[in-house]
């Protein structure tokens, strides 16, 4: 199968950024090659950030429930702290039992410490997990690159 072609109109600010990156690298290939390189780089960064994280099944149940199977909206850029915000908002208006508060606080601390790439990687992996209907097991999460601690 041939590589699919994607034709997109991008905002001038992004076009200028890509053109500047292309120019700085003294690349003789077409500017579309720079776009491909940058997309491969983003894919590699997301995968690496996901490999750095480890979550318990309880953590993942909380995160998955908070994200509620929503897929990222491609019309709006993903924000920093998206997973933290979803978990926080899920508990904002409902009481948390004192026995669960410590685990929730710990989870929120971990989510709050994620950088933007790690946050995006986790949000994408959870969305893929929901979409594909994988079981809530270490193996089910591993299909999407999520490492589960015992």
Tens of pLDDT, residue by residue over 10-68, are 899 988 998 898 888 887 888 888 888 899 999 999 999 999 999 999 999 999 999 98
Handedness of CA 71, 82, 48, 61 (dihedral sign): negative
- Residue 148 CA from chain centroid, whole number: 16
Q: Is the pLDDT of residue 105 over 60?
A: yes
Burial class of residue 126, CB neighbours in 10 A (0-12, 13-18, 19+): buried
Whole-prediction pTM = 0.84
Contacts of 41 (CB under 8 A, 6+ apart): none
Handedness of CA 123, 124, 127, 132 (dihedral sign): negative
User: How many Cβ atoms sit within 10 Å of the Cβ of residue 66?
Assistant: 20
- The CA-atom distances, in angstroms, between 116 and each of 44, 123, 136 are 14, 10, 25
Q: How confident is the model at residue 77 (pLDDT cuts 50, 70, 90)?
A: low
Tens of pLDDT, residue by residue over 126-145, are 999 999 999 999 999 999 99
């Amino acid at each position: 199968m041939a590589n699919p072609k994607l034709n997109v109109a991008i905002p001038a600010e992004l076009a200028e950024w890509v053109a500047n990156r292309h120019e700085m690298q003294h690349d003789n290939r077409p500017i579309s090659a720079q776009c491909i390189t940058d997309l491969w780089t983003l894919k590699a960064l997301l995968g690496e950030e996901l490999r750095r994280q480890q979550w318990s099944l309880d953590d993942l149940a909380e995160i998955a429930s908070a994200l509620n199977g929503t897929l990222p909206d491609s019309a709006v850029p993903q924000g920093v702290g998206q997973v933290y915000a979803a978990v926080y908002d899920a508990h904002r208006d409902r009481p948390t039992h004192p026995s669960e508060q410590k685990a929730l606080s710990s989870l929120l601390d971990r989510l709050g410490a994620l950088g933007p790439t790690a946050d995006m990687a986790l949000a994408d992996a959870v969305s893929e997990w929901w979409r594909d209907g994988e079981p809530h097991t270490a193996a089910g999460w591993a299909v999407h690159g999520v490492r589960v601690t015992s």
